[in-house]
Amino acid sequence: MAIRTIIRADNPVLRKKAHRVVDYDKKFQTLVDDMIETMLDAPGVGLAAPQVAVSQRLIVVRLSDDEESKEEFGEEAGKLYVVANPEIIKTSKDVAEGVEGCLSIPGYVGTVDRFETITLKGYDRYGKPLRIKADGWLARVFQHEIDHLDGRLYIDIAKKVWEPKEDEARTTAE
């Protein structure tokens, strides 16, 4: 495993629609492992393959598992999701505004409206179909990461973007 460089918003890879994953081979498994290590090292709660300059439809997500997060997220705290070719197949009618940051746009956060609940389908790291229902913060993280796969950044849809105070930045990182 290796920590990969997270590219910044000015890199054109982040603005392209990523290609579908078709091979779940050794090279793909290495990418998955590297993305997990990179996300945890950053630290972040999600990472999309285009953020490490790989144009594939792959995301990794892991909510924090510290004591506060365990209380807030319950069984979702610390659970690792690896999803290839994710597709949102159902959304709630309810939308919530929340603060987001991004590892590819360090030093800034913004307010973004997202669906409160989503259901997505895709494939695990071995190509086995999966389906995930996500609420709240987890739903927001999935939507943010899937946006990356379509060449969209949170700053494209944010109502407002600003440089956060130090304590605010720690709670909103991607």
| Overall residue count recorded for the chain in this entry | 174
Can you tell me the distance from the alpha carbon of 118 to that of 100, in angstroms, rounded to the nearest whole number? Answer: 17
| In a domain? residue 50 | yes
Here the tokens at position 141 are 């993280």
pLDDT tens string 81-112: 999 999 999 999 999 999 999 999 999 999 99
Question: Does residue 172 register a pLDDT over 80?
Answer: no
In terms of residue numbers, what domain contains 118? 12-172
Can you tell me the distance from the alpha carbon of 32 to that of 142, in angstroms, rounded to the nearest whole number? Answer: 16
Q: CATH number for the domain including 158?
A: 3.90.45.10
| In a domain? residue 100 | yes
pLDDT of residue 168: 56
Q: Which residues are identified as catalytic? A: 145
Label residue 1 by pLDDT band (50, 70, 90).
Answer: confident
Label residue 67 by pLDDT band (50, 70, 90).
Answer: confident
Question: Does residue 38 register a pLDDT over 70?
Answer: yes
Q: Does 169 or 94 have the greater pLDDT score?
A: 94
How many domains does the chain divide into? 1
